[in-house]
A and B are shown apart, each in its own frame.
Chain A
Amino acid sequence: MELETGQVTVMEMKKENVKELAQILKTVVFKDFGMLYAFETGLKITVDDGAFQQANAFLNSAFFSDYKVREDRIALKLPIKTIYEFLSIPEGNSNSVKFSYSGMFDPLKLLIEESDGCVIRGKFNSSIADQELDFEFDDSAVPVTYLLKTQVLKEIFRDFDDTSRTVKMSLSSSVICFSTVGEVGETTVSIPSRSLQMESAKCTEEVEHSYQLSLLHRMNPAFALASKLILRVDERGVLSCQFSIDHGDCRTSYIEFLTVPTTETDE
């Protein structure tokens, strides 16, 4: 480890309870590779599929027990799926992981220590980060915003008719309707704004967009982990789902999914 050799690291952090980190990673790793951006305030992990969807995980510096970033603009492309599997190795809660990275061309080193003395070392080669997809989501021009609880919504998303290619969302100030058309026929789930699951709804304009079901399914682990969701759609129909995960002690992490709508001609 760098500490042993005395080399200075560009960034290093330590996290107790590896499971928390593994869970968050799980929500975004729908692709093998992803980007890691380190800032003074925290980490951002981005995964995208190149065309339709992007997932971002925001981990505050408070999430870690020890967090040091010595350079600006650290951006790495990493095999995050493998890193996730690595972080899933230990069981239980009494373990910790150390990250350290000494700069370009050096691997990212991880060290997991378990309470019983077991030590797991990992070295992951990094490469130059890809161009990040910019969805140009304009926060100021959002006609529809909902704040929802994920408790029931996660089951609704999970139970969408698999034989339907798309899910159509009809968003209005009084109700959200999710419709699918599949083998069974049409299925519509509607959540009225008076429902306790909807904490707030703001809608300047009623809109209706369709999204591919496979893309929505990628959000299922995030639904399972998070407690709340802010659902927004911008003028072009790009769906932004921001999940907030509460770790206790007022520490929160956020996951965001940006999804492009399908056009009717694709159906």
Chain B
Amino acid sequence: MSFACSRDRFSCGKHENHARIRRRSISQMQATHDTYADPSSSTSTLKKGVQHEDMKGAQFVVQSNLKIMSRCIAALSKISEDVLIEVSDTGLYFKIVNRSKFCVFRFAPEFFNSCDVSMINNKNINICRLSMKSAQRIFKGVAVGEKTFVGCEFRIDPKGEKMMVKLQMNYDIDRTIHAKLREMGSILHKPTYDRAICRNTTVVFASTLLPILAQMKTDLEVTMKVNEEGLTIRNYHSMDGVSMFNMADQRGGGKKVKTETTITIDKLTRHKVRIPAEFSFSLREFMSIVTFADQLGSEVCLYYDLPGRPLILSIEAHPNFDIELALATMGNDDEIDLDGGIVKETMIHHETTINGQSSETISAKKSRKTSNVDDFDITSSSKRGPVPNSELHQSQSQSLSQPSKNKFIAATVHEKTTQPVTDHSWRDHEIIDGEQQREATPETQPEVEMIVAPMETDPDIMEVEEPIQRRTPAEKEFSMHQAMQDINISPRNNSPQYIEPEEFPNPTPQENEREATVADIPEEDQNGIFKVPEVKRMRVNDGRSVSTRRILMGTEKKQLMRMSQQFNGTPLMQDSQI
């Protein structure tokens, strides 16, 4: 060990006869406690050697996952100036806590090649603070380059003043950093959001979402609008370089939309919207996490609700670590060209009709909403499998309901997040009655899940058929179909336009008949209602099947929305979720 050598050198080499070697006074070669108190003192190797022996704290060694850690620092660097590092026997946590945003990266002990937290007292609060600049400097050059960095060892003592990071590079070279930790404030902020009460869920591949956000990179905020058909992200022309969603434009009487991009439901792995909503949030943090997800090649899960409630973005694809970001959202209080007033109306309407609109004859908003809370959308396609109802209550943390895949499930509740009893990952909602769990390989998973998606949405027949044909039939679709039918009976009967996509390999008379019924719908109504989804039909040829529409002024969408609502003639029902 190089440190052993250097210690030897100084212990035997008292040949201080050369004036050129300048040493500080002997008194500084004392016990290590001095070094902690006096970080500005001379950095002679002797003291460093002694420091290492006495380093208390948790030790983590990362080798293969080192790049992931350095990318996570890169992502966090765009979110805040400081990072909180917490150590516990459930792993290592990097957190950012702020009034309007909260982000946590959790690394399970299995993420590391070795993990020793025996010296950490779990009853204490083991959090320390590191400046983001220091963190960036520590990981400088790590994510880039192929084989330069072999591994990294952390020694973190939350009570100490320094954190040691030793990076092993190739050719036996190593880089050791004793990073100064900052003072911790006395207030520990606890996040107060709760995924369980988010009524909307979307899961999408980061690679789908990222190019859209990249277009809007320069904005502070973007607006996201969701309805059952898809997800729309929009940015506005800014006044004086600042664009705020709820700032009324004095001149035009409304804000002008600059870019609007819609991801239709077939491009979303999962999209469950109980309350269509529209809100805006800060783009920078959102995009940095989506970029991170894209680098991993994974999906992002979005949990959100109405404006004002936090938007939660999480990456749950890996068993050994997960990421969660909660952002504050803002709603629009002012009239804007595009949706002025509609948003509110919609919200009220849907809040109260969350459980079962049925008997709509011609309607854009089909009632895929099931009639009671427990009947969540079914998919047997999750790679972690669905969970029978009873198991939901066991899961404590925010990952998979499938036992054991994610290491945080068994974590005790010392975590700051309030642990809801149900509902962590959207996957927790997937219930199948008597359906055996399927083990889909990760490769097939996205495909299979996309099959699921159309079942949840409004049947836009033209649209849904195309993607269906691309997918390979899966054997179990038929049994799933059965299960679907059992549960979602009443709404389905009333909507003749509902499609069962599982039957696509052999087009049945049923399907053909349904097509006929669609054709029966009066042309102008169909156009009127479907005009909004019609945009989806325009496939952009760049291989990303996302429709982009650049709108400079408000459109008649406003009118269309209002028109569509005329057909929602069902009596308003109480929102049992609240």
List A residues at the B interface (Cβ < 8 Å): 152, 155-156, 159, 161, 168, 170, 172, 174-175, 177, 179, 181-192, 194-197, 205-209, 235-237, 261, 263-264
List B residues at the A interface (Cβ < 8 Å): 2, 5-6, 9, 13, 15, 18, 20-22, 39-40, 43, 45, 48, 131, 133-134, 137-138, 140-141, 148, 162, 169-180
B38 CB to closest chain A CB, in angstroms? 12
Q: How far is the CA of A191 from the CA of B168 in the complex (A)?
A: 11
Q: Which residues in A have their C-beta under 8 angstroms from that of B175?
A: 187-189
- Asked if residues A185 and B176 are in contact (CB atoms below 8 Å), the reply is no
In the complex, 29 of the A-B residue pairs with CB atoms within 8 angstroms, ordered by the A residue number, are A152-B173, A170-B45, A172-B6, A172-B9, A174-B5, A177-B6, A182-B137, A183-B131, A183-B137, A183-B180, A184-B131, A184-B134, A184-B179, A185-B162, A185-B179, A186-B39, A186-B176, A187-B178, A189-B176, A190-B2, A190-B173, A190-B176, A192-B172, A192-B173, A195-B171, A195-B172, A196-B172, A197-B173, A264-B22
B135 CB to closest chain A CB, in angstroms? 9
- Asked if residues A175 and B5 are in contact (CB atoms below 8 Å), the reply is yes
Q: How far is the CA of A84 from the CA of B512 in the complex (A)?
A: 77
- Asked if residues A175 and B133 are in contact (CB atoms below 8 Å), the reply is no
Q: How far is the CA of A126 from the CA of B45 in the complex (A)?
A: 49
The 10 closest A-B CB pairs, nearest first, are: A184-B134, A195-B172, A264-B22, A185-B180, A174-B5, A185-B179, A190-B2, A195-B171, A184-B137, A185-B178
Q: Which residues in B have their C-beta under 8 angstroms from that of A263?
A: 22
- Asked if residues A152 and B2 are in contact (CB atoms below 8 Å), the reply is no
Q: Which residues in A have their C-beta under 8 angstroms from that of B134?
A: 183-185
Which chain B residue shows the least CB distance to A194? Answer: B172
Q: Which residues in A have their C-beta under 8 angstroms from that of B162?
A: 185
Which chain A residue shows the least CB distance to B135? Answer: A184
Q: How far is the CA of A236 from the CA of B19 in the complex (A)?
A: 9
Q: Which residues in A have their C-beta under 8 angstroms from that of B178?
A: 185-187
- Asked if residues A155 and B141 are in contact (CB atoms below 8 Å), the reply is yes
- Asked if residues A206 and B9 are in contact (CB atoms below 8 Å), the reply is yes
B134 CB to closest chain A CB, in angstroms? 4
Q: A152-B170, A175-B2, A195-B171 are in contact. Are A188 and B20 (CB under 8 A)?
A: no
Q: How far is the CA of A120 from the CA of B103 in the complex (A)?
A: 59
- Asked if residues A189 and B43 are in contact (CB atoms below 8 Å), the reply is no
Q: Which residues in A have their C-beta under 8 angstroms from that of B39?
A: 185-186
Which chain B residue shows the least CB distance to A237? Answer: B20
B511 CB to closest chain A CB, in angstroms? 62
Q: Which residues in B have their C-beta under 8 angstroms from that of A209?
A: 20
Which chain A residue shows the least CB distance to B140? Answer: A159
Which chain B residue shows the least CB distance to A207? Answer: B21
Which chain A residue shows the least CB distance to B173? Answer: A191
| B2 contact from A177, A196, A264, Cβ within 8 A | A177
- Asked if residues B43 and A197 are in contact (CB atoms below 8 Å), the reply is no
Q: Which residues in A have their C-beta under 8 angstroms from that of B141?
A: 155, 159
B222 CB to closest chain A CB, in angstroms? 34
Which chain A residue shows the least CB distance to B40? Answer: A181
Which chain B residue shows the least CB distance to A178? Answer: B175
- Asked if residues A184 and B177 are in contact (CB atoms below 8 Å), the reply is yes
A60 CB to closest chain B CB, in angstroms? 31
B443 CB to closest chain A CB, in angstroms? 37
- Asked if residues B173 and A156 are in contact (CB atoms below 8 Å), the reply is yes
- Asked if residues B2 and A174 are in contact (CB atoms below 8 Å), the reply is yes
Q: Which residues in A have their C-beta under 8 angstroms from that of B179?
A: 184-185
Q: How far is the CA of A205 from the CA of B17 in the complex (A)?
A: 12
- Asked if residues B22 and A195 are in contact (CB atoms below 8 Å), the reply is no
B351 CB to closest chain A CB, in angstroms? 51
Q: Which residues in A have their C-beta under 8 angstroms from that of B6?
A: 170, 172, 175, 177
B53 CB to closest chain A CB, in angstroms? 16
Q: Which residues in A have their C-beta under 8 angstroms from that of B137?
A: 161, 182-184, 187
Which chain A residue shows the least CB distance to B176? Answer: A188
